[in-house]
Structure 1
Amino acid sequence: MSAGPDASPFAVVPVLDLRHGRVVRARAGERHAYAPIVTPLSPGSAPADVARGLLAAWPTRRLYVADLDAIMDGAEPDRGALAAIAAACPGVELWVDAGFATRDGVADFLAAGLGRPVLGSESQTGPDLVRALGDRAVLSLDSRAGLPLGPAILHEDPALWPREVIAMNLARVGGGDGPDLAGIGTLRARAPGARVYAAGGLRGPDDLRALRAAGAAGVLVASALHDGRLRPEHAAILDA
């Protein structure tokens, strides 16, 4: 019998995408078209409500939050929404991508105590911030349609990578094409000591098996949870 969804070394990390103070539904990475989410997991799109619903759908100790206003528009991190999520989910670590690109911006975020910063390659101008933060941050290696986003050195030099790395395939986010297994395998081969998390394309429980076989440490997921294609009982797959 499974010990529970969060007991396996392979981590399923639920995702919240924030836009204008609400949680929005990802569709093939086309961020400008994201609309407030409608989901059976929550009575509305308020961040705290959706966070509670995701934790009910998959109990975990970690949530990933993408602040799209910060990533797309250069806005300050939505501390109100982040604080509401944190208050609704005590004991849960937030991984937060808020378009961090400067040391001062990361320092302010860390001082607020609202989670662990995710450094998206698409937001970087070079390797300095990734190098400076090391394992205090998570690195998201962002790509779209096979094209790496951000400085090439971040994708090419695994010596720069922190312990935890996200393979963020934006074209697959919110879609049904399946995760990028080949990409995960490539990253794992280049940095065997890194914990690599897939992001984008998870369809259901069978993909958990495939990702684990490819060497992934976990997967970021939203649509499959909202649609009921991934449920707590599927955690038993990770014990097989």
Structure 2
Amino acid sequence: MQVIPVLDLLDGQAVRAMRGERARYRPIESPLCATSEPLAVARALLAATGTRTLYIADLGAILKRGDHARLLAELLNGLGEAPVEIWLDAGYTDFPSMRSLFDRIEVIRHGPQRPGRATLVPVFGTETLLNTEALHEAAGFAPVLSLDHRAGRLITDLADPFAIRPDTSWWPSRVIVMTLDHVGSYQGPDLDTFAAIRAQAGHRELIGAGGIRHAADLSAAAESGAAAWLVASAIHDRQLDLPSTAKL
């Protein structure tokens, strides 16, 4: 199972997530890095995990307080020559909102600075998504769907939330099972919600998110059938022996 590190952006800084209670998020303080500057934190996370995939949540965009397009472009250009895949959740409501942000980031990246080799993958979260057709329209970008949960319940503004669980035809090949109240909580992964989604997901690749405390949690997550798990706090706090546990 792959460990995918998480970088949360708010007000131009990398912040530490806490149970999805975003008013409590503060600039990251981490033994991995002496600063909360996003590029430095991103480099530290990739080095600590030995992976070339990074999940970024643009909380400014999700909270409708302004996205981090320029910062994201600078971050993508600054991650070096090795290919890196960035999974970006920026509160998209539909495909046009996603495409608009991606286009702006690309314009900035191709300015006076030579663009880096990082590539963007859109993550559509049910917390903000209003149109399930967005996943089909974004097929060329290999989109990821995040099924966002709190207290075991799906968070969604979709017009027909009751149809979202039985109808999985619109789900793409990669799906994140996100439990926001487990993020940064050190209370363990929400394997019950993960199992419920796995029962519906068919052959899709499932990625868990939230709650990982130590290597035993990673083992339990791997045994549950997860292809990967999104992790932040346990990496920053050096509770995982990575990169030796980056793949189980």
Indicate yes or no: 2:53 matched with 1:62.
Answer: yes
- Matching residue of 2:204: 194
Distance 1:123 1:155 in 2: 17
- Matching residue of 1:85: 75
> 1:194-226: per-residue Cα shift (whole Å, max 9, x none)?
111111101111111111111011100000000
Unaligned runs of 5+ in 2: 107-118
- Matching residue of 2:236: 226
Distance 1:140 1:64 in 2: 12
Q: Which moved more, 1:99-108 or 1:149-158?
A: 149-158
Q: Which amino acid aligns with 2:149?
A: S
Q: Which amino acid aligns with 2:128?
A: S
- Matching residue of 1:212: 222
- Matching residue of 2:123: 118
* 8 Å contact from structure 1 (residues 47, 84) kept in 2: no
Q: Determine which structure has the larger helix proportion and give its number.
A: 1
Distance 1:155 1:70 in 2: 26
Matches within 5 A, 1:1-240: 10-73=1-64, 75=66, 77-90=67-80, 91-111=83-103, 112-113=105-106, 115-134=120-139, 136-150=142-156, 151=158, 152=161, 153-232=163-242, 234-235=244-245, 238=248
- 1:236 Cα deviation (Å)? 7.6
Q: What is the SS of the residue equivalent to 1:16?
A: strand
Structure 1's 105 and 50: CA in aligned 2 closer, same or farther, altered over 3 A?
same
* 8 Å contact from structure 2 (residues 93, 131) kept in 1: no
Q: Which moved more, 1:205-214 or 1:130-139?
A: 130-139
Q: How many residues matched?
A: 228
- 1:61 Cα deviation (Å)? 1.2
Distance 2:247 2:5 in 1: 17
Q: Percent of aligned pairs with the same residue?
A: 40
**C-alpha root-mean-square deviation of aligned residues, in Å?**
1.8
- 1:130 Cα deviation (Å)? 2.5
Distance 2:241 2:17 in 1: 19
Q: Which amino acid aligns with 1:28?
A: R
Q: Which amino acid aligns with 1:115?
A: L
* 8 Å contact from structure 2 (residues 50, 242) kept in 1: yes
Q: What is the SS of the residue equivalent to 1:175?
A: coil
Structure 1's 146 and 69: CA in aligned 2 closer, same or farther, altered over 3 A?
same
- Matching residue of 2:110: none
Distance 2:94 2:234 in 1: 34
* 8 Å contact from structure 1 (residues 29, 173) kept in 2: yes
Q: Which amino acid aligns with 2:125?
A: G
Q: Which amino acid aligns with 1:83?
A: A
